[in-house]
């Protein structure tokens, strides 16, 4: 919620009006859709790779992929809940 102070024009002491405003729930739909796509898209890509080329997901590549996805999801969770 934001708080805005507006001076009253024409008043002697320039008293201020305090307005408390908050965002409408629909204004967060874009952020929600972006966050959900950022969370779902890597899973879809991994499932597609798993069913087409299983030999890629073995050994050192699997360890590297686990590290990269962990970093990606930590950053995504941080950006989502800011």
- Nearest-angstrom CA–CA distance, 82 and 80: 6
Q: 53-81: per-residue pLDDT in tens?
A: 888 888 898 899 889 999 999 998 898 88
Domain residues for 27?
A: 2-80
State residue 4's pLDDT score.
67
Domains: count for the chain: 1
Is a pLDDT exceeding 70 seen at residue 9?
no
Given phi > 0 = left and psi -120 to 50 = alpha, else beta, which region is 43? alpha
Q: 18-48: per-residue pLDDT in tens?
A: 777 778 888 889 888 988 998 899 999 888 8
State residue 50's pLDDT score.
85
Q: Looking at beta carbons, which pairs linking 74-77 to residues 24 or more positions away fall under 8 Å?
A: 76/35, 76/38, 76/39
Banded model confidence at residue 5, pLDDT cuts 50, 70, 90: low
For the CA atoms of 45, 46, 52, 53, what is the dihedral angle to 10 degrees?
130
Cα 39 vs. chain centroid, distance in angstroms? 9
């Amino acid at each position: 919620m934001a708080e805005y102070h507006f001076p009253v024009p024409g008043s002697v002491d320039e008293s201020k009006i305090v307005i408390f405003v908050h965002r409408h729930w629909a204004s967060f739909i874009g952020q929600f859709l972006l966050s959900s796509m950022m969370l779902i898209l890597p899973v879809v890509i991994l499932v597609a790779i798993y069913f087409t080329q299983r030999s890629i997901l073995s050994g050192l590549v699997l360890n590297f992929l686990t590290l990269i996805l962990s970093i990606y999801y930590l950053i995504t969770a941080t950006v989502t809940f800011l």
